[in-house]
Amino acid sequence: MQNLFFEFVFLVLIILALVMLAQKLRLAYPIVLVLGGLALSVTGWFANITIDPEIVFLVFLPPLLYEAAWQVSWKEFWKWRRVIASFAFPVVIITSCIVAVVAHSLIPGFTLALGFLLGGIVSPPDAISATTIMRNVQVPRQMVSIIEGESLLNDASSLIVFRFALAAVLTGQFAFSAAAGSFFLVIVMGTAIGMGIGLVFYAIHRWLPTTPSIDTVLTLLTPYCLYYAAEHFHYSGVLAVVSGGLLLSSQRHAMLTYRSRIESIDVWSVLSFVLNGLVFLLIGLELPAITQQLDGGLGPAIGYGLLISLTLVLARLLCSFGAVLFTRFASHFITVADANPGWRGPVVLGWAGMRGVVSLAAALSIPLLTPQGQPFPYRNLILFITFVVILVTLVFQGLTLPWLIRMVKPVASHQPIAPEQQELILQKKLALQALRSVEAADGPPSDYMQNLRARLQLDAAFFTHQLEAPAGPPDDRLHRFHQSYLQLLDQQRTLLHEMNHRMEFDEEIIRKYLTILDLEEYKLREKQPQLLGTE
């Protein structure tokens, strides 16, 4: 046990090194982690560390889904709800059907039920890789929102397909009407359980005397409670986590204090980074175990894997353009977010179909034996095909997606206000609102209030001038101002550290002001990332 713990410590250190390498190479870190895991698998150093599907579904998946639900914009999610729902449910089911037919037709002895099982395993794309790449390339926000929203739901639909296909293989029976009814029941009840438990945690945060530490721990426990409660009753734990997470995310400002929000965000960003890193590195480490279990030769298995990968890529592209045609048709009868999506967006969304750990965990969860005591048919081949699909889509599509985005140059369907203008408008409105509040304040005038009023008046005048100025390239004077401000903050830090050596000043007070300077720099860098970069 001690040796296993230290092996995971070394794995985390390797993840950090590989992520830094990915930043240096300007690549999405999931791609580098998978390739790094493949390289480590050859050495045999971490041969005893494997992916346990139960650990993935019970330990990794709930917090990653919950964190994604908190990060997604509910406004964007609702705006593109039809596109997201179409990719998460109909596209997954159609892809499963296409894979089932192709596998049944071209793999000798592969039944249609096994084809649906394979389709349910490999149909859900992993959004971590796609969104990581898209954030490093100029791409409209709506595409990132659609990919993020899709990732919240497609795991649920694919796992439900996988569950019914597995039952069909094990029992030899499949009733479409019963399966369709159970499919919708699993979706509805999973969502309802998530909403119900989410309301319970909302009440705990809102009305019980919690502290920031308690709030943070509660947010860590919430996804596991949501997932386990739904799975205990054989409903969709994925949808329970997603629905509960979206509900609580939309109420974060009502149920959490400012300190709880800041502390929980910091904890969750680190936790999701480590979990994602472990997941992608473990995918690469699985190669020896999967290859050793393979029957019937490596060459044909690689061919089948490449064939299914090509099928998935083409199926997603066809479904993307099919969604465009359906949207144009539906726009004649209902109001849609974008009546004419064009061809650029569907090309990018169709190519952003990289597969991830959920597919591999689902394949690993296939039982070794049937209820009759016989080896599960083609289990090792399904597992190897899944690994090839993940590797091909993640590495090939992941490496070519930035090039494709630059070639296609997708544009936002409608962006009434540029992001820079939005920031200036918000800053001006905040300054004016604060100025009105100060001027309406009761009590005798004071130097403090006069100083605040003068500063707010200057801010309002500055933002008004910036909004009225003609559009053009970034002002070099503004860039120099921000650089000077950063140097000023560094000099103030140096002064605080020097004062900390004097015994008459309490170090806790020094640290408080150092934190204030850090927050000031954070706000500045968040406002102007294109000028200052991020750290």
Q: Which of 65, 116, 98 is nearest to 362 (CA)?
A: 116
How do residues 35-77 score in pLDDT, each as one tens digit?
888 888 878 777 677 777 777 788 888 998 898 888 887 777 8
Closest CA to 418 of 483, 349, 466, 347: 466
Query: Which among 289, 295, 469, 283 has a CA at the least distance from the CA of 359?
Result: 283
- Cα angle: 387, vertex 60, 117; to 5 degrees: 40
3-class SS at 369? strand
The answer to whether 482 and 472 have CB atoms below 8 angstroms apart is no
Instruction: Using DSSP, state whether 375 is helix, strand or coil.
Output: strand
- What amino acid occupies position 494? T
Rounded distance, CA 485 to CA 531, Å? 13
pLDDT given at position 229:
94
What is the DSSP secondary structure assignment for residue 534, as one 8-state letter? -
Give the pLDDT mean for 489-511.
Answer: 84
Average pLDDT over residues 140-148: 80
Class in CATH terms, 2-408: mainly alpha
Annotate 170-207 with DSSP letters as a single string.
Answer: HHS---HHHHHHHHHHHHHHHHHHHHHHHHHHHHHHHH
Cβ atoms within 10 A of the Cβ of 98, count?
20
The answer to whether residues 255 and 248 touch, using CB atoms and an 8 Å cutoff, is yes
At 534 the pLDDT is: 45
Q: Is 419 left (phi over 0), alpha (psi -120 to 50) or beta?
A: alpha
Express each pLDDT in 402-425 by its tens digit.
888 888 877 766 666 666 677 778
**Amino acid type, 329:** F
pLDDT band for 475, please (50, 70, 90 cuts). Answer: low
Length of the chain: 535
Q: Model confidence over 186-229: pLDDT tens digits?
A: 888 999 999 999 999 999 999 999 999 999 999 999 999 999 99
* Residues 383 and 293: beta-carbon distance below 8 Å: yes
Residue 49: strand, helix, or coil = coil
**Nearest CA-CA partner of 242 in 229, 231, 254, 227:** 227
Task: Say how far apart CA 118 and CA 169 lie, in whole Å.
Answer: 11
Q: Which residues contact 429 (CB under 8 A, 6 or more apart)?
A: none
pLDDT of 355 higher than 80: yes
Please state, rounded to an integer, the average pLDDT across all residues of the chain. 82
Looking at residue 296, what DSSP letter applies? S
| Torsion over CA: 18, 22, 23, 25 (sign) | positive
pTM for this predicted structure: 0.80
How much is the pLDDT for 196? 95
CA–CA separation, 364 and 383 (whole Å): 7
Amino acid letter, 199: L
Pick 390 or 450 by higher pLDDT. 390
Contacts of 379 (CB under 8 A, 6+ apart): 366, 368
Q: Domain map of the chain by residue range?
A: 2-408, 421-472, 479-535
